[in-house]
Structure 1
């Protein structure tokens, strides 16, 4: 068990963690992308809902 935790510690020391600035930028990209994708799907839903009401 001790060997495992030692190995984990050595591996985690090699990890390159992002800076605070990179984290903020990446989080902003994810939030904006999610909003845009949600708006796109919402508009498609409204369009298909309108079309089904029109033709059915």
Structure 2
């Protein structure tokens, strides 16, 4: 078990962590993409619910 944790610590030293600027950029991308998809799906839901009200 100790060998495993030593191995994990060694691997974590090799990780290249993103900068704060890159994190902000990536977070902004995720937020904007989420809003766009939510809007798109909301409009589709509105369209299909309107269509089902007309048909029924």
Could you tell me which runs of 5 or more consecutive residues in structure 1 were left unpaired when the two chains were aligned: none
- Matched pairs, number: 56
Deviation digits for residues 1-56 of structure 1, max 9, x if unmatched?
Answer: 22111111110000000000000000000000000000000000000010110111
Matched residue SS, 1:16: coil
Could you tell me which runs of 5 or more consecutive residues in structure 2 were left unpaired when the two chains were aligned: none
CA–CA separation in structure 2 for the residues paired with 1:51 and 1:5: 58
Q: What TM-score does the superposition give when structure 1 sets the normalisation length?
A: 0.94
CA–CA separation in structure 1 for the residues paired with 2:25 and 2:46: 32
Runs of 4 or more above 3 Å deviation: none
Matched residue SS, 2:50: helix
Q: What TM-score does the superposition give when structure 2 sets the normalisation length?
A: 0.94
